[in-house]
Amino acid sequence: MVEELRQGIHQVAERLGQELRCSLAFPGRDWVFFPLESRGVQYFGVLSTEEPPFEGKLVTLSFQGRKLFVFPFTLDNALRLRDVIPELTPTTLCKEVSWGVVEESPVLLSLVFGALWEKGVFPLSGTCAAEGKREELEKALRSSLWGAFAGGGRGRFGVFSQERAWQFFKEASSLGYTAYILESEEHIRKEAFTWEEAQLKEAFFRLSSREKEAWKRYCDRSFRFSRDFVLSFPEERCLRMLFAYFPLLDILEEGFAFLESQDIPFDLGVSFEKLPPEAHFFLAEELHRRGVDFHVLFPGASEGDSDLPFHTLLARTIGGYRLGFSCRDPKSLPPFPEEPRGMLHLFSAHLGFPVLLEVIALEDPDLFRRLFEEALEASGVSFALETVPDRELPGILEKSSLRNAVQNATPLLFAHHRETLEAYLFAFESEIAQKIRERLCLQ
Protein backbone atom coordinates (compact mmCIF):
# COMPACT_ATOMS: atom_id res chain seq x y z
CA MET A 1 0.00 0.00 0.00
CA VAL A 2 2.84 2.40 0.81
CA GLU A 3 4.32 1.94 -2.68
CA GLU A 4 0.94 2.69 -4.26
CA LEU A 5 0.66 5.87 -2.24
CA ARG A 6 4.06 7.28 -3.14
CA GLN A 7 2.87 9.18 -6.17
CA GLY A 8 -0.02 10.70 -4.23
CA ILE A 9 2.29 11.63 -1.36
CA HIS A 10 4.66 13.29 -3.83
CA GLN A 11 1.77 15.48 -5.01
CA VAL A 12 0.89 16.30 -1.40
CA ALA A 13 4.49 17.30 -0.74
CA GLU A 14 4.39 19.65 -3.72
CA ARG A 15 1.16 21.20 -2.44
CA LEU A 16 2.62 21.72 1.03
CA GLY A 17 6.02 22.79 -0.25
CA GLN A 18 7.74 20.27 2.04
CA GLU A 19 9.56 17.00 1.68
CA LEU A 20 7.44 14.21 3.17
CA ARG A 21 8.11 10.64 4.23
CA CYS A 22 5.70 7.75 4.71
CA SER A 23 7.01 4.34 5.74
CA LEU A 24 3.89 2.44 6.83
CA ALA A 25 0.10 2.38 6.69
CA PHE A 26 -2.80 1.24 8.86
CA PRO A 27 -5.32 -0.35 6.49
CA GLY A 28 -8.95 -0.76 7.48
CA ARG A 29 -12.18 -1.81 5.80
CA ASP A 30 -13.17 1.70 4.76
CA TRP A 31 -10.07 3.75 5.51
CA VAL A 32 -6.30 3.69 5.16
CA PHE A 33 -4.33 5.85 7.62
CA PHE A 34 -0.65 6.67 7.37
CA PRO A 35 1.78 8.99 9.21
CA LEU A 36 3.53 11.68 7.17
CA GLU A 37 6.77 13.16 8.47
CA SER A 38 8.52 16.34 7.46
CA ARG A 39 11.34 18.25 9.16
CA GLY A 40 9.98 18.84 12.64
CA VAL A 41 6.33 18.66 11.53
CA GLN A 42 3.92 15.73 11.71
CA TYR A 43 0.88 15.10 9.51
CA PHE A 44 -1.24 12.10 8.67
CA GLY A 45 -3.03 10.97 5.56
CA VAL A 46 -6.37 9.27 5.10
CA LEU A 47 -7.41 7.34 2.00
CA SER A 48 -11.19 7.08 1.90
CA THR A 49 -14.32 7.45 -0.19
CA GLU A 50 -15.90 9.64 2.51
CA GLU A 51 -14.91 12.85 4.26
CA PRO A 52 -12.92 11.84 7.39
CA PRO A 53 -13.97 13.29 10.80
CA PHE A 54 -10.81 15.30 11.40
CA GLU A 55 -10.05 19.01 11.65
CA GLY A 56 -7.75 21.34 9.69
CA LYS A 57 -7.78 19.59 6.30
CA LEU A 58 -4.71 20.70 4.33
CA VAL A 59 -4.92 18.76 1.06
CA THR A 60 -7.48 16.70 -0.88
CA LEU A 61 -6.49 14.63 -3.93
CA SER A 62 -8.34 12.13 -6.09
CA PHE A 63 -6.62 8.74 -5.87
CA GLN A 64 -7.66 5.48 -7.55
CA GLY A 65 -11.38 6.03 -7.17
CA ARG A 66 -11.01 7.36 -3.65
CA LYS A 67 -9.73 10.58 -2.10
CA LEU A 68 -6.52 11.20 -0.25
CA PHE A 69 -6.87 13.69 2.61
CA VAL A 70 -4.02 15.19 4.67
CA PHE A 71 -4.45 16.65 8.17
CA PRO A 72 -2.12 18.10 10.81
CA PHE A 73 -1.31 15.71 13.65
CA THR A 74 -2.84 17.84 16.40
CA LEU A 75 -3.82 16.37 19.75
CA ASP A 76 -7.52 16.60 18.89
CA ASN A 77 -6.97 14.74 15.63
CA ALA A 78 -4.72 12.21 17.36
CA LEU A 79 -7.44 11.46 19.90
CA ARG A 80 -9.95 10.95 17.07
CA LEU A 81 -7.48 8.64 15.33
CA ARG A 82 -7.34 6.67 18.55
CA ASP A 83 -11.05 5.98 18.20
CA VAL A 84 -10.54 4.18 14.87
CA ILE A 85 -7.05 2.68 15.35
CA PRO A 86 -7.10 0.54 18.53
CA GLU A 87 -3.28 0.36 18.57
CA LEU A 88 -3.17 4.08 19.48
CA THR A 89 -5.00 3.63 22.79
CA PRO A 90 -2.57 3.66 25.77
CA THR A 91 -2.91 0.76 28.18
CA THR A 92 -1.71 -0.25 31.62
CA LEU A 93 1.42 -2.36 32.06
CA CYS A 94 1.50 -5.82 30.51
CA LYS A 95 3.54 -8.86 31.47
CA GLU A 96 6.72 -7.76 29.68
CA VAL A 97 9.52 -5.51 30.87
CA SER A 98 8.34 -1.90 30.78
CA TRP A 99 10.49 1.09 29.85
CA GLY A 100 9.54 4.72 30.41
CA VAL A 101 11.24 7.25 28.16
CA VAL A 102 11.23 11.01 27.65
CA GLU A 103 12.36 12.51 24.34
CA GLU A 104 12.30 16.10 23.10
CA SER A 105 11.28 15.11 19.58
CA PRO A 106 8.16 13.08 18.64
CA VAL A 107 10.11 11.62 15.69
CA LEU A 108 12.94 10.45 17.95
CA LEU A 109 10.35 9.00 20.32
CA SER A 110 8.80 6.98 17.49
CA LEU A 111 12.22 5.44 16.75
CA VAL A 112 12.69 4.54 20.43
CA PHE A 113 9.19 3.03 20.59
CA GLY A 114 9.88 0.96 17.49
CA ALA A 115 13.18 -0.32 18.93
CA LEU A 116 11.61 -1.21 22.28
CA TRP A 117 8.74 -3.08 20.62
CA GLU A 118 11.27 -4.99 18.55
CA LYS A 119 12.95 -6.09 21.80
CA GLY A 120 9.64 -7.25 23.27
CA VAL A 121 9.49 -4.32 25.71
CA PHE A 122 6.40 -2.34 26.75
CA PRO A 123 7.23 1.37 26.13
CA LEU A 124 5.82 4.38 27.97
CA SER A 125 6.36 8.07 27.42
CA GLY A 126 5.18 11.09 29.35
CA THR A 127 6.21 13.92 31.64
CA CYS A 128 8.35 14.48 34.72
CA ALA A 129 7.45 17.37 37.05
CA ALA A 130 4.84 18.94 34.77
CA GLU A 131 3.02 19.96 37.98
CA GLY A 132 -0.36 19.53 36.38
CA LYS A 133 0.26 22.08 33.61
CA ARG A 134 -2.21 21.04 30.93
CA GLU A 135 -0.14 22.44 28.05
CA GLU A 136 2.85 20.26 28.97
CA LEU A 137 0.67 17.21 29.55
CA GLU A 138 -1.07 17.65 26.20
CA LYS A 139 2.26 18.09 24.42
CA ALA A 140 3.61 14.87 25.97
CA LEU A 141 0.42 12.96 25.15
CA ARG A 142 0.52 14.09 21.53
CA SER A 143 4.18 13.04 21.33
CA SER A 144 3.35 9.63 22.81
CA LEU A 145 0.53 9.08 20.33
CA TRP A 146 2.83 10.04 17.46
CA GLY A 147 5.46 7.66 18.85
CA ALA A 148 2.92 4.83 18.68
CA PHE A 149 1.51 5.90 15.28
CA ALA A 150 4.78 6.50 13.44
CA GLY A 151 6.49 3.70 15.38
CA GLY A 152 4.13 1.31 13.62
CA GLY A 153 1.67 0.48 16.40
CA ARG A 154 3.44 -2.87 16.77
CA GLY A 155 2.54 -3.32 20.41
CA ARG A 156 0.89 -1.82 23.43
CA PHE A 157 2.20 1.33 25.11
CA GLY A 158 1.48 3.60 28.07
CA VAL A 159 1.65 7.27 29.00
CA PHE A 160 3.04 8.26 32.41
CA SER A 161 3.05 11.26 34.72
CA GLN A 162 5.78 11.53 37.36
CA GLU A 163 5.16 14.16 40.03
CA ARG A 164 6.09 15.30 43.54
CA ALA A 165 2.46 15.42 44.72
CA TRP A 166 -0.47 13.21 43.78
CA GLN A 167 -2.70 16.27 43.32
CA PHE A 168 -0.80 16.94 40.08
CA PHE A 169 -2.17 13.66 38.73
CA LYS A 170 -5.65 15.13 38.40
CA GLU A 171 -5.06 16.85 35.06
CA ALA A 172 -3.18 13.86 33.63
CA SER A 173 -6.01 11.51 34.58
CA SER A 174 -8.50 13.67 32.67
CA LEU A 175 -6.35 13.23 29.55
CA GLY A 176 -6.18 9.44 29.76
CA TYR A 177 -2.67 8.92 31.15
CA THR A 178 -2.17 5.33 32.29
CA ALA A 179 0.77 5.37 34.76
CA TYR A 180 1.37 7.67 37.74
CA ILE A 181 4.71 7.77 39.58
CA LEU A 182 4.96 9.69 42.87
CA GLU A 183 8.37 11.07 43.85
CA SER A 184 8.57 10.26 47.54
CA GLU A 185 11.32 12.46 48.99
CA GLU A 186 9.11 15.35 50.10
CA HIS A 187 6.82 12.94 51.93
CA ILE A 188 9.46 11.16 54.06
CA ARG A 189 10.10 12.53 57.55
CA LYS A 190 13.88 12.06 57.33
CA GLU A 191 14.56 13.98 60.54
CA ALA A 192 13.15 11.00 62.47
CA PHE A 193 16.43 9.16 61.87
CA THR A 194 18.38 11.84 63.80
CA TRP A 195 15.94 12.55 66.67
CA GLU A 196 17.34 12.43 70.17
CA GLU A 197 15.97 9.74 72.48
CA ALA A 198 13.72 12.27 74.25
CA GLN A 199 12.17 13.33 70.92
CA LEU A 200 11.62 9.71 69.98
CA LYS A 201 9.84 8.96 73.29
CA GLU A 202 7.67 12.06 72.98
CA ALA A 203 6.66 11.06 69.44
CA PHE A 204 5.93 7.52 70.61
CA PHE A 205 3.33 8.74 73.10
CA ARG A 206 1.61 10.66 70.30
CA LEU A 207 1.22 7.62 68.05
CA SER A 208 -2.20 7.24 66.47
CA SER A 209 -4.03 3.94 66.86
CA ARG A 210 -3.22 3.08 63.24
CA GLU A 211 0.47 3.80 63.79
CA LYS A 212 0.51 1.68 66.96
CA GLU A 213 -1.01 -1.26 65.12
CA ALA A 214 1.67 -1.03 62.42
CA TRP A 215 4.43 -0.71 65.03
CA LYS A 216 3.28 -3.88 66.80
CA ARG A 217 3.45 -5.81 63.51
CA TYR A 218 7.19 -5.19 63.14
CA CYS A 219 8.73 -4.20 66.49
CA ASP A 220 11.44 -6.66 67.65
CA ARG A 221 10.52 -9.11 64.89
CA SER A 222 12.61 -10.76 62.17
CA PHE A 223 11.51 -11.95 58.74
CA ARG A 224 13.49 -14.54 56.80
CA PHE A 225 13.37 -14.49 52.98
CA SER A 226 16.25 -16.86 52.24
CA ARG A 227 19.06 -18.61 54.06
CA ASP A 228 21.21 -15.48 53.84
CA PHE A 229 18.63 -12.71 53.92
CA VAL A 230 16.82 -11.82 57.14
CA LEU A 231 15.22 -8.46 57.93
CA SER A 232 15.19 -7.48 61.61
CA PHE A 233 13.33 -4.61 63.25
CA PRO A 234 14.80 -3.80 66.70
CA GLU A 235 12.56 -1.46 68.71
CA GLU A 236 14.33 1.87 68.19
CA ARG A 237 15.10 1.27 64.53
CA CYS A 238 11.52 0.16 63.90
CA LEU A 239 10.16 3.27 65.59
CA ARG A 240 12.33 5.64 63.55
CA MET A 241 11.33 3.89 60.33
CA LEU A 242 7.68 4.12 61.29
CA PHE A 243 7.85 7.87 61.93
CA ALA A 244 9.82 8.46 58.72
CA TYR A 245 7.67 6.50 56.27
CA PHE A 246 4.16 6.51 57.74
CA PRO A 247 3.25 9.92 56.20
CA LEU A 248 4.12 8.51 52.76
CA LEU A 249 1.69 5.62 53.27
CA ASP A 250 -1.11 8.13 53.87
CA ILE A 251 -0.16 10.14 50.76
CA LEU A 252 -0.07 7.07 48.53
CA GLU A 253 -3.40 5.87 49.90
CA GLU A 254 -4.94 9.27 49.09
CA GLY A 255 -3.49 9.26 45.57
CA PHE A 256 -4.68 5.72 44.92
CA ALA A 257 -8.18 6.55 46.18
CA PHE A 258 -8.36 9.54 43.84
CA LEU A 259 -7.24 7.57 40.77
CA GLU A 260 -9.61 4.74 41.62
CA SER A 261 -12.47 7.23 41.87
CA GLN A 262 -11.84 8.37 38.27
CA ASP A 263 -12.96 4.99 36.93
CA ILE A 264 -9.93 4.73 34.61
CA PRO A 265 -7.35 1.97 34.13
CA PHE A 266 -4.11 3.02 35.83
CA ASP A 267 -0.82 1.89 37.32
CA LEU A 268 0.52 3.60 40.46
CA GLY A 269 4.20 3.74 41.33
CA VAL A 270 6.55 5.40 43.80
CA SER A 271 10.20 6.38 43.47
CA PHE A 272 12.96 6.85 46.06
CA GLU A 273 16.44 8.29 46.00
CA LYS A 274 17.65 5.48 48.25
CA LEU A 275 15.34 3.00 49.98
CA PRO A 276 16.69 0.49 52.57
CA PRO A 277 15.39 -3.08 52.17
CA GLU A 278 13.67 -2.86 55.59
CA ALA A 279 11.68 0.18 54.44
CA HIS A 280 10.90 -1.55 51.13
CA PHE A 281 9.36 -4.49 52.99
CA PHE A 282 7.47 -2.24 55.43
CA LEU A 283 6.00 -0.02 52.71
CA ALA A 284 5.02 -2.85 50.36
CA GLU A 285 3.34 -4.83 53.13
CA GLU A 286 1.50 -1.85 54.59
CA LEU A 287 0.31 -0.58 51.21
CA HIS A 288 -1.11 -3.99 50.38
CA ARG A 289 -2.70 -4.15 53.83
CA ARG A 290 -4.47 -0.86 53.03
CA GLY A 291 -5.64 -2.15 49.68
CA VAL A 292 -3.35 0.15 47.70
CA ASP A 293 -2.61 -1.76 44.50
CA PHE A 294 0.70 -0.22 43.43
CA HIS A 295 2.62 -1.56 40.43
CA VAL A 296 6.10 0.03 40.35
CA LEU A 297 8.63 0.75 43.11
CA PHE A 298 11.91 2.54 42.37
CA PRO A 299 14.22 1.68 45.32
CA GLY A 300 17.04 3.91 44.08
CA ALA A 301 19.40 0.96 43.65
CA SER A 302 21.99 1.15 40.87
CA GLU A 303 24.73 -1.00 39.36
CA GLY A 304 27.02 -2.34 42.08
CA ASP A 305 24.55 -1.59 44.88
CA SER A 306 24.81 -4.37 47.48
CA ASP A 307 21.09 -4.02 48.26
CA LEU A 308 19.98 -4.79 44.70
CA PRO A 309 19.65 -8.59 45.20
CA PHE A 310 17.62 -8.00 48.38
CA HIS A 311 15.22 -5.59 46.66
CA THR A 312 14.76 -8.11 43.86
CA LEU A 313 14.09 -10.94 46.32
CA LEU A 314 11.57 -8.80 48.22
CA ALA A 315 9.68 -7.86 45.06
CA ARG A 316 9.58 -11.48 43.91
CA THR A 317 8.46 -12.74 47.33
CA ILE A 318 5.84 -10.11 48.05
CA GLY A 319 4.63 -9.94 44.44
CA GLY A 320 2.17 -7.71 42.63
CA TYR A 321 4.58 -4.99 41.54
CA ARG A 322 7.77 -4.49 39.55
CA LEU A 323 11.06 -2.87 40.50
CA GLY A 324 11.98 0.37 38.78
CA PHE A 325 15.50 1.46 37.83
CA SER A 326 16.78 4.63 36.20
CA CYS A 327 18.93 3.75 33.22
CA ARG A 328 21.17 6.29 31.50
CA ASP A 329 22.83 3.86 29.12
CA PRO A 330 21.20 0.57 28.07
CA LYS A 331 24.67 -0.94 27.72
CA SER A 332 25.30 -0.58 31.47
CA LEU A 333 22.17 -2.13 32.92
CA PRO A 334 22.81 -3.71 36.34
CA PRO A 335 23.05 -7.51 36.42
CA PHE A 336 19.53 -8.61 37.33
CA PRO A 337 18.81 -12.08 38.71
CA GLU A 338 17.20 -14.67 36.48
CA GLU A 339 13.72 -14.17 35.02
CA PRO A 340 13.41 -10.38 35.42
CA ARG A 341 10.74 -10.00 32.73
CA GLY A 342 7.41 -8.86 34.11
CA MET A 343 8.94 -7.53 37.33
CA LEU A 344 11.24 -4.92 35.83
CA HIS A 345 10.52 -1.29 34.90
CA LEU A 346 13.22 0.97 33.47
CA PHE A 347 13.29 4.72 32.98
CA SER A 348 15.53 6.73 30.65
CA ALA A 349 15.49 10.44 29.90
CA HIS A 350 16.65 11.25 26.36
CA LEU A 351 17.66 7.72 25.50
CA GLY A 352 17.82 8.41 21.76
CA PHE A 353 19.50 11.83 21.71
CA PRO A 354 23.13 10.65 22.12
CA VAL A 355 22.57 8.43 19.08
CA LEU A 356 21.47 11.45 17.06
CA LEU A 357 24.65 13.26 18.14
CA GLU A 358 26.78 10.27 17.09
CA VAL A 359 25.33 10.54 13.58
CA ILE A 360 25.97 14.29 13.53
CA ALA A 361 29.58 13.63 14.62
CA LEU A 362 30.04 11.44 11.55
CA GLU A 363 28.35 13.85 9.13
CA ASP A 364 29.34 17.28 10.45
CA PRO A 365 32.14 17.24 13.07
CA ASP A 366 32.13 21.03 13.41
CA LEU A 367 28.44 21.10 14.28
CA PHE A 368 28.94 18.25 16.72
CA ARG A 369 31.72 20.18 18.46
CA ARG A 370 29.52 23.26 18.85
CA LEU A 371 26.62 21.24 20.25
CA PHE A 372 28.86 19.21 22.53
CA GLU A 373 30.64 22.26 23.93
CA GLU A 374 27.26 23.83 24.67
CA ALA A 375 26.15 20.66 26.46
CA LEU A 376 29.33 20.52 28.54
CA GLU A 377 29.01 24.16 29.54
CA ALA A 378 25.35 23.72 30.52
CA SER A 379 26.17 20.62 32.58
CA GLY A 380 29.31 22.08 34.20
CA VAL A 381 31.55 19.31 32.86
CA SER A 382 35.15 19.92 31.75
CA PHE A 383 36.60 18.03 28.80
CA ALA A 384 39.39 18.88 26.34
CA LEU A 385 37.35 18.32 23.18
CA GLU A 386 39.97 20.07 21.02
CA THR A 387 42.36 17.16 21.63
CA VAL A 388 39.99 14.64 20.04
CA PRO A 389 40.40 14.13 16.26
CA ASP A 390 37.26 14.15 14.12
CA ARG A 391 37.36 10.42 13.46
CA GLU A 392 37.12 9.68 17.21
CA LEU A 393 34.25 12.07 17.98
CA PRO A 394 31.40 9.50 17.79
CA GLY A 395 33.14 7.31 20.35
CA ILE A 396 33.49 9.90 23.11
CA LEU A 397 29.84 9.45 24.06
CA GLU A 398 30.71 5.96 25.28
CA LYS A 399 32.16 7.69 28.36
CA SER A 400 29.32 7.77 30.88
CA SER A 401 30.10 11.23 32.33
CA LEU A 402 30.05 12.81 28.85
CA ARG A 403 26.94 10.90 27.83
CA ASN A 404 25.19 12.06 31.00
CA ALA A 405 26.18 15.66 30.29
CA VAL A 406 24.64 15.44 26.83
CA GLN A 407 21.44 13.86 28.13
CA ASN A 408 21.12 16.50 30.86
CA ALA A 409 21.49 19.27 28.27
CA THR A 410 19.09 17.76 25.72
CA PRO A 411 16.14 20.12 26.44
CA LEU A 412 18.46 23.13 26.16
CA LEU A 413 20.00 21.96 22.87
CA PHE A 414 16.57 21.36 21.36
CA ALA A 415 15.42 24.77 22.56
CA HIS A 416 18.38 26.42 20.80
CA HIS A 417 18.81 24.18 17.73
CA ARG A 418 15.52 22.35 17.14
CA GLU A 419 15.32 23.09 13.41
CA THR A 420 18.85 21.81 12.78
CA LEU A 421 18.41 18.71 14.95
CA GLU A 422 15.06 17.83 13.38
CA ALA A 423 16.63 18.19 9.91
CA TYR A 424 19.30 15.61 10.81
CA LEU A 425 16.65 13.33 12.28
CA PHE A 426 14.70 13.49 9.04
CA ALA A 427 17.76 12.97 6.83
CA PHE A 428 19.27 10.06 8.78
CA GLU A 429 16.22 8.47 10.37
CA SER A 430 16.99 4.89 9.32
CA GLU A 431 20.62 5.10 10.53
CA ILE A 432 19.51 6.53 13.88
CA ALA A 433 16.82 3.86 14.26
CA GLN A 434 19.38 1.11 13.62
CA LYS A 435 21.84 2.53 16.17
CA ILE A 436 19.11 2.81 18.81
CA ARG A 437 18.21 -0.86 18.27
CA GLU A 438 21.87 -1.81 18.62
CA ARG A 439 22.19 0.04 21.91
CA LEU A 440 19.27 -1.74 23.55
CA CYS A 441 20.98 -4.69 25.19
CA LEU A 442 18.14 -5.89 27.41
CA GLN A 443 18.18 -9.67 27.50
For 258-285, the pLDDT digits (tens) are 999 999 999 999 999 999 999 999 999 9
Confidence of residue 239 (pLDDT cuts 50, 70, 90): very high
> CATH 3.30.200 residue ranges in the chain?
2-84
> Strand, coil or helix: what is 151?
coil
Residues 133, 158 contacting (CB under 8 angstroms): no
User: Minimum mean pLDDT among 75-84, 206-215, 330-339, 425-434: which range?
Assistant: 330-339
Sheet containing 42-48, strands listed edge to edge, beginning at the edge strand earlier in sequence:
26-27, 31-37, 42-48, 66-72, 59-63
Q: Tens digits of per-residue pLDDT, 173-203?
A: 999 999 999 999 999 999 999 999 999 999 9
N-term to C-term CA, the chain: 34
For the segment 200-215, the average pLDDT, to the nearest whole number, is 94
* Helical pair 134-150 and 75-84, crossing angle rounded to 10 deg: 50
> Tell me, what's the pLDDT at 211?
95
Alpha-carbon distances, residue 128 vs 134, 136, 160 (angstroms)? 13, 10, 8
Whether residue 28 is predicted with pLDDT greater than 70 in this model: the reply is yes
Confidence of residue 340 (pLDDT cuts 50, 70, 90): low
Whether residue 433 is predicted with pLDDT greater than 80 in this model: the reply is yes
Whether residue 443 is predicted with pLDDT greater than 60 in this model: the reply is no
> Tell me, what's the pLDDT at 180?
98
For the segment 330-357, the average pLDDT, to the nearest whole number, is 76
Tell me the C-alpha distance between 13 and 20, whole Å.
Answer: 6
Select the more confidently predicted residue: 309 or 113: 113
> Tell me, what's the pLDDT at 131?
93
> Tell me, what's the pLDDT at 3?
62
Tell me the C-alpha distance between 161 and 182, whole Å.
Answer: 9
> CATH 3.20.20.70 residue ranges in the chain?
86-187+241-349
Alpha-carbon distances, residue 296 vs 98, 173, 272, 348 (angstroms)? 10, 18, 11, 15
For the segment 303-329, the average pLDDT, to the nearest whole number, is 88
Task: Point out which residues pair with 236 in neighbouring strands.
Answer: none
> Tell me, what's the pLDDT at 330?
66
> Tell me, what's the pLDDT at 422?
96
Whether residue 315 is predicted with pLDDT greater than 60 in this model: the reply is yes
User: Minimum mean pLDDT among 13-22, 96-105, 316-325, 405-414: which range?
Assistant: 13-22
Amino acid at 255: G
Residues 137, 161 contacting (CB under 8 angstroms): yes
CATH 3.20.20.70 fits 86-187+241-349, yes or no: yes
Rg of the chain in Å (alpha carbons): 25
Q: Which of 371-378's residues contact partners 24+ apart within 8 Å by CB, and which partners? A: 371/413, 371/417, 372/396, 372/406, 374/409, 374/412, 374/413, 374/416, 375/405, 375/406, 375/408, 375/409, 375/412, 375/413, 376/402, 376/405, 376/409, 378/405, 378/408, 378/409, 378/412
Tell me the C-alpha distance between 208 and 204, whole Å.
Answer: 9
> Tell me, what's the pLDDT at 347?
94
Select the more confidently predicted residue: 66 or 54: 54
Tell me the C-alpha distance between 170 and 56, whole Å.
Answer: 29
* Helical pair 365-379 and 400-408, crossing angle rounded to 10 deg: 80
* Helical pair 400-408 and 410-427, crossing angle rounded to 10 deg: 90
User: Minimum mean pLDDT among 12-26, 69-83, 281-295: which range?
Assistant: 12-26
> Tell me, what's the pLDDT at 336?
55
Q: Tens digits of per-residue pLDDT, 34-48?
A: 999 999 999 999 999
Tell me the C-alpha distance between 153 and 24, whole Å.
Answer: 10
> What number of residues does the chain have?
443
* Percent of the chain with pLDDT strictly greater than 70: 95
Residues 271, 324 contacting (CB under 8 angstroms): yes
Q: Mention the CATH class of domain 2-84.
A: alpha beta
Average pLDDT, the chain: 92
Alpha-carbon distances, residue 91 vs 122, 200, 342 (angstroms)? 10, 45, 15
Whether residue 1 is predicted with pLDDT greater than 60 in this model: the reply is no
